[in-house]
């Protein structure tokens, strides 16, 4: 959701803070702010460009450089995205500055009490209460650290916090509860951020904080403690991410760059995980729970948005390959609906960020009820990755664009590997296993072929640029793809799109069809091809334009669809990987053609750490 970044060291903090913020822009971007001890607080509605402009105008650049500071990008939850509600927030004395990612649930009662005690509030945010509570500690003679700890003991909610105290300019206190915080450990300088992306350029040595951790960070030291006065050791880890992975690499948008990473992403998801000659999958991340996995008789997959749609494919894949019953649930529903969990149930959380709060809480709820908790996660060291009993990393590299593209491909690939893994110890024959592995290994090359169609897909997207609505249909393996194609289009182009099972069309959606309402039909030559073709005919009979995603060499469909996107022939259960790339390119080109901010669509954030 929001992004936080802090620096303490010998360098001029300002350019480092601004650069750190711009690398976090994908997390949230309706307002921004920066505080450096010795300089005035600068805040703005808008994003980092606006903040830069405001800093130049404010004249604070002319004063001596500051060697520490905290910065924040906001995605509004409490209060409008205005300058006054932008972080950091300050207490009455002007000495305590707080930047916060998360929500203070009991802020109303805390604020009421603070108002009664004479504090003046400048914003409508929940965060400002923290600055005033810290001020109260300092006023009665407590240290900076004690005042922060005392404040956090009073709050309920989630936070990834940065606190700067003007009278102790070299120290930054950070704390984590439900919202991620990573320390970057440099040489004579230290960094703090919501995730490792903006830190990597400076250092690859990081410390991931756990919920309940408070870290006192100076240029040359960091110390981690708890609210209970216990000091704790958090291990330093070295990340092997490539810094260039976090930049656009010549593409106009991160989204296009990330779509074009498909072949590499597919290879990375499979690297070292298949034994081709035996038709088996080797998932090291699940070894520690191998015995429990053997007894699992039910899997519940939880996720949100695109990760949920990957989960739907996971259901089809695992049931088909392993014969283990699978249910897929929206994490936001599962966590509140009192699901029945047996002792042989595994709950599998699918999440790119590993921080989606609903998915995390669904997984925690299942764990509390005794389920084996598993994760398929991209962000290394994220909360879901650390809290699940075991899991498989996607290794897709940082995904910056809000729309999930390469992560989806990787999730589906890992789910296929999981189906193979479970299947080979159950009902799946060696022959079928080998067939699947061979098909998986061909995927990167086939993905290249779909990517080569980018310009042709762009031409089709351009033709439909003014359409106000779209229907997406598909059957069996292509049904989840209809849902996924629709979410991709609506989230980045703001065009209304509805995904449905092709067989469901007659039960309602077909009423919308006329000559101005196009349908995107995902119709590869698979076991339900004839049925999908019948549905296309029904749409054509009502004069609805049809764009079809079809298998290369399918000439029959040329007569039915106005526009065609061909994908290579592939084992039926893996066709979603190829149709996903085509659907991503279609959505991208349509939105980019409208001149929209594809990587940062309005109202959305990359990492949804609120309920
Ligand atoms: O980080 P996660 O995979 O848990 O995120 C889940 C959804 O928020 C995410 O997939 C969202 O639907 C994407 N913007 C869709 O492209």
Per-residue pLDDT of 478-489, as tens digits, reads 999 999 999 999
* Residue 60 CB–ligand 1 contact under 6 Å: no
Order the strands of the 519-523 sheet from edge to edge: 496-501, 469-474, 519-523, 546-551, 563-567
Rounded Cα–Cα distance for residues 91 and 69 (Å): 16
413 lines ligand 1 (CB under 6 A): no
Classify residue 381 as left (phi > 0), alpha (psi -120 to 50) or beta: left
Q: Are 547 and 520 in contact (CB under 8 A)?
A: yes
Task: Please work out whether the CB of residue 173 comes within 6 Å of at least one atom of ligand 1.
Answer: no
| 410 touches ligand 1 (CB under 6 Å) | no
365 touches 611 (CB < 8 A): no
For 55, 147, 197, 308, the CA distances from 69, given in Å and listed in that order, are 14, 19, 18, 38
Residue 63: the pLDDT is 80
- Cα(606) to ligand 1 centroid in Å equals 7
pLDDT in tens, 258-317: 999 999 899 989 988 999 999 999 999 999 999 999 999 999 999 999 999 999 999 999
Write out the E strands in 140-240: 157-165, 172-177, 182-185, 190-193, 205-208, 214-217, 222-225, 231-232, 237-238
Q: Pick the atom of ligand 1 nearest to 384's CA.
A: 4
* Cα 244 to Cα 235: distance, rounded to the nearest angstrom: 26
Decide whether any atom of ligand 1 lies within 6 Å of the 195 Cβ: no
Ligand 1, atom nearest to 352 Cα: 3
Q: Quote the percentage of the chain above a pLDDT of 70.
A: 97
Secondary structure in 3-state letters for 198-219:
CCCCCCCEEEECCCCCEEEECC
Q: Which residues are tagged catalytic? A: 2, 606
450 lines ligand 1 (CB under 6 A): no
Question: What digits encode the pLDDT tens for the residues 87-138?
Answer: 999 999 999 999 999 889 899 999 999 999 999 999 999 999 999 999 999 9
What is the residue with the minimal CA distance to atom 12 of ligand 1? 305
What is the number of alpha carbons within 13 Å of residue 64 lying toward its C-beta?
4
* Mutation choice for ligand 1 from 1, 179, 306, 587, CB with most ligand atoms inside 8 A: 306
Confidence of residue 53 (pLDDT cuts 50, 70, 90): very high
| pLDDT above 90 (res 30) | no
pLDDT digits (tens, 9 = 90+) for 509-563: 999 999 999 999 999 999 999 999 999 999 999 999 999 999 999 999 998 999 9
Domains within the chain, CATH numbers bracketed: 3-244 (3.60.20.10), 258-444 (3.40.50.10490), 453-593 (3.40.50.10490)
Q: Strand pairing of 469-474 and 496-501?
A: parallel
- Among protein residues, the one with the nearest Cα to ligand 1's atom 14 is 403
Q: Which residue has the higher pLDDT, 59 or 85?
A: 85
**Separation between Cα atoms, residue 600 and residue 54, nearest integer Å:** 22
Peptide bond into 88 cis (omega under 30): yes
For residue 507, pLDDT beyond 60: yes
pLDDT higher for 566 or 343?
Answer: 566
Q: Is the shortest distance between the CB of 405 and ligand 1 below 6 Å?
A: no
- CA 380, 385, 389, 395 dihedral sign is negative
- Say yes or no to pLDDT of 456 above 90: yes
Q: How far away, in angstroms, is 350 Cα from ligand 1 center?
A: 10
């Amino acid at each position: 959701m929001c992004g936080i970044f802090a620096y303490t060291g010998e360098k001029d903090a300002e350019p480092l803070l601004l650069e750190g913020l711009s690398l976090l822009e994908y997390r949230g971007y309706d307002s921004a702010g920066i505080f450096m001890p010795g300089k005035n607080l600068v805040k703005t509605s808008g994003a980092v460009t606006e903040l830069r402009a405001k800093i130049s105008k404010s004249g604070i650049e002319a004063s001596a450089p500051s060697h520490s500071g905290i910065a924040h990008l906001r995605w509004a939850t409490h209060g409008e995205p205005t300058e006054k509600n932008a972080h950091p927030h300050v207490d009455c004395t002007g000495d305590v500055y707080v930047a916060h990612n998360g929500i203070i649930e009991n802020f109303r009662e805390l604020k009421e009490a603070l108002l009664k005690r004479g504090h003046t509030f400048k914003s409508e945010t929940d965060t400002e209460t923290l600055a005033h509570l810290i001020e109260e500690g300092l006023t009665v003679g407590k240290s900076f650290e004690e005042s922060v700890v005392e404040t956090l003991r009073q709050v309920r909610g989630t936070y990834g916090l940065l606190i700067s105290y003007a009278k102790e300019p070299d120290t930054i206190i950070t704390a984590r509860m439900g919202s991620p915080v990573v320390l970057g450990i440099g040489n004579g300088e230290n960094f703090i951020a919501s995730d490792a992306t903006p830190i990597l350029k400076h250092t690859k040595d990081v410390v991931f904080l756990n919920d309940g951790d408070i870290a006192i960070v100076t240029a040359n030291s960091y110390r981690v403690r708890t609210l209970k006065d216990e000091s704790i050791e958090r291990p330093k880890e070295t990340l092997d991410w490539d810094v260039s992975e976090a930049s656009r690499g010549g593409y106009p948008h991160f989204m296009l760059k990330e779509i074009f990473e498909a072949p590499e992403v597919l290879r990375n998801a499979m690297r070292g995980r298949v034994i081709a000659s035996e038709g088996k999958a080797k998932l090291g991340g699940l070894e520690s729970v191998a015995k429990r996995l053997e007894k699992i008789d039910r899997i519940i997959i939880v996720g949100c948005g695109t990760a949920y749609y990957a989960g739907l494919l996971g259901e089809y894949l695992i049931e088909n390959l392993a014969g283990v019953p699978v249910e897929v649930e929206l994490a936001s529903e599962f966590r509140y609906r009192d699901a029945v969990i047996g002792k042989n149930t595994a709950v599998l959380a699918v999440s790119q960020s590993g921080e989606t709060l609903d998915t995390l809480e669904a997984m925690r709820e299942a764990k509390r009820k005794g389920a084996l908790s598993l994760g398929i996660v991209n962000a290394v060291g994220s909360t879901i990755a650390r809290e699940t009993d075991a899991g498989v990393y996607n290794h897709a590299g940082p995904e910056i664009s809000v729309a999930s593209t390469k992560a989806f491909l990787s999730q589906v690939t890992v789910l296929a590997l999981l189906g193979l893994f479970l299947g080979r110890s159950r009902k799946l024959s060696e022959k079928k296993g080998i067939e699947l592995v061979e098909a998986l290994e061909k995927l990167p090359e086939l993905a290249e072929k779909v990517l080569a169609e980018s310009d042709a897909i762009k031409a089709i997207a351009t033709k439909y640029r003014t359409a106000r609505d779209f229907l997406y249909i598909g059957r069996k393996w292509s049904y989840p793809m209809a849902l996924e194609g629709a979410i991709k289009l609506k989230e980045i182009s703001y065009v209304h799109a509805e995904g449905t099972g092709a067989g469901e069309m007659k039960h309602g959606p077909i009423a919308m069809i006329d000559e101005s309402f196009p349908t995107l039909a995902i119709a590869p030559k698979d076991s339900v091809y004839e049925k999908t073709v019948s549905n296309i005919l029904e749409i054509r009979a009502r004069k609805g334009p049809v764009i079809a995603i079809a298998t290369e060499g399918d000439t029959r469909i040329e007569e039915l669809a106005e526009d065609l996107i061909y994908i290579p022939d592939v084992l039926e259960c893996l066709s979603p990987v190829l149709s996903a790339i085509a659907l991503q390119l279609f959505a991208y080109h349509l939105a980019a053609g409208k001149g929209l901010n594809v990587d940062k669509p309005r109202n959305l954030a990359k990492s949804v750490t609120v309920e």
